[in-house]
Amino acid sequence: MSDSFKIGLAGLGTVGVGVIKMLQQNADVIAARAGRSIEIISVIAGIKAKDRGVDISAYDWANSLEDMAQDQRLDAVIEMVGGSDGEIKSFVETALDNGKHIVTANKALLAHHGYDLAQRAENNNVTIAYEAAVAGGIPIIKSLREGLAGNKINSVYGILNGTCNYILTEMRETGRDFADVLDEAQEKGYAEADPTFDVDGIDAAHKLVLLGALAFGVKPDFDALNIEGIRHITSKDIRYADDLGYRIKLIGMARLSQDGNAMQSIAPCLVSTKSAIAGVEGVFNAVQTNGDFVDQTMMEGRGAGEGPTASSILADIIDLARGNNRLIFGVPTAQLNTAQWQGAEVLSCQCYIHVKAEDKSGVIADITACLKEADVSIDSFIQRGHEDDGSASVVIVTHEARFSDIQKAVKIVEGLACVLDKPTLLRIEDI
């Protein structure tokens, strides 16, 4: 294996530039670990003439994605363009059909088409490596597929979106509201101009789908996922949660029960301030797994950015250069099960409910009657003073109950004449 491992880089944005820098700066250690040198043969991006802060003059500029996908010199193409359909999907398909491994950070593509692409890769005796697609620099894919391979994984929890975690952390630390902090995050470059994918939970959902497939040996199924983002979380919710001993985090959760039912959800949840995951702040990500022999493990690190993402991409390139043709979801695609997915409503959990109501007699009695009607028992109940507009905030922590019953209770509360806004309902996760 003395020939160099030859790659093409598609996409020269932040991540692409990071990959080039890392390959240039750490060439010796990378070659030693790969058993041969890694050689960039060609690159392609939207604009050719642009100062990217790295010297790319030694590399060919590919005429098109299609040309790169068919370039007989390449062992692998590194896809850093993004997008889940159209040209990028056909680029990946063509590269696989031409016997090239794919290394990618593209979680959307794999969350939507991972099963078909994995079959295609297998048929062509190549693989798709996606360490960079989930939680940036955290090596969770290798950890699940290799380090924890002997375990039955029962659950995977994660903070999988740095933008949301940054916003929630800032809201807690400064008392500011969501919109204000989002504006600042956009100014600082932590949030995209269109923040939808991040703040509505879609980016985290893409990542969770891949973790669930790998952890449980099931076909990735994006459509089976409950997704709730963080737009409706207020600074008051964060303060009340804090007073009760909790942090609000956007939690990705995938679980496999003993009867074979699987559940995956993305939702803002309360976690105890004493839990390790509560201490994961700012743009950091974390993934916690639970395996039958290993018990609990947790990894924390940067979930995005030039260095962390390049770190994961290089790990995959080194693996491939070493000749490791890994199974994409841990088992051959023919052995991936079709999970019986269930929604979060089947969970049994405690919940936090925040109701904005008129501040007048009988309101508390009306609200508690609604919970009684749905057979939901209250663990603690706090009324928070008078707001400027004469309303009151009623904060309830329920006893453990079926989530669907608590949802039903909150629906009834929402219909009360004294209730001024849609109540906030969040699960309390015992992580």
Residues that bind ligand HSE (CB under 6 A): 161-163, 198, 203, 303-304
In the three-class reduction of DSSP (H, G, I as helix; E, B as strand; rest coil), residue 61 is classed as: strand
Nearer to ligand HSE among residue 231 and residue 236 (C-beta): 231
CA angle centred on 246, ends 243 and 249, rounded to 5°: 130
Write down the least CB distance from residue 106 to ligand HSE, Å.
10
- Classify residue 344 as exposed, middle or buried by CB count within 10 Å of its CB (0-12, 13-18, 19+): buried
Q: Two tokens at 257?
A: 């029960």
Write down the least CB distance from residue 153 to ligand HSE, Å.
22
Nearer to ligand HSE among residue 71 and residue 203 (C-beta): 203
- Determine the Cα–Cα distance for residues 5 and 232; give it in Å rounded to an integer: 48
Q: Two tokens at 400?
A: 């453990």
What are phi and psi for residue 315, nearest 5 degrees?
A: -60, -40
8 A C-beta contact, residue 84 and residue 108? yes
Write down the least CB distance from residue 238 to ligand HSE, Å.
19
Nearer to ligand HSE among residue 111 and residue 412 (C-beta): 111
Write down the least CB distance from residue 207 to ligand HSE, Å.
7
- Determine the Cα–Cα distance for residues 232 and 82; give it in Å rounded to an integer: 28
DSSP code for 125: T
User: Quick one: CA torsion of 159, 160, 166, 171, rounded to 10 degrees?
Assistant: -50
Nearer to ligand HSE among residue 96 and residue 168 (C-beta): 168
Q: Two tokens at 65?
A: 């994605």
Write down the least CB distance from residue 94 to ligand HSE, Å.
25
Write down the least CB distance from residue 166 to ligand HSE, Å.
8
- Determine the Cα–Cα distance for residues 8 and 25; give it in Å rounded to an integer: 18
274 tagged catalytic: no
Would the CA dihedral through 272, 107, 118, 30 be positive or negative? negative
Write down the least CB distance from residue 234 to ligand HSE, Å.
21
Count of other CB atoms within 10 angstroms of residue 42: 21
DSSP code for 399: P
Nearer to ligand HSE among residue 203 and residue 319 (C-beta): 203
**Which listed residue (6, 107, 207, 219) is catalytic?**
207
Nearer to ligand HSE among residue 248 and residue 406 (C-beta): 248
Write down the least CB distance from residue 199 to ligand HSE, Å.
9
Q: Per-residue DSSP letters for 326-385?
A: --TTSS-GGG-B--EEE-GGG-EEEEEEEEEEE-STTHHHHHHHHHHHTT--EEEEEEEE
Nearer to ligand HSE among residue 18 and residue 303 (C-beta): 303
Nearer to ligand HSE among residue 15 and residue 344 (C-beta): 15
Give how far Cα 243 sits from Cα of 116, 270, 316, 384, 427, Å: 48, 12, 44, 11, 16
H or E element in which residue 44 lies: strand 38-44
| Cα 115–chain centre separation | 18
**Residue with token string 């029962």:** 154
Q: Which residues are known to be catalytic?
A: 207
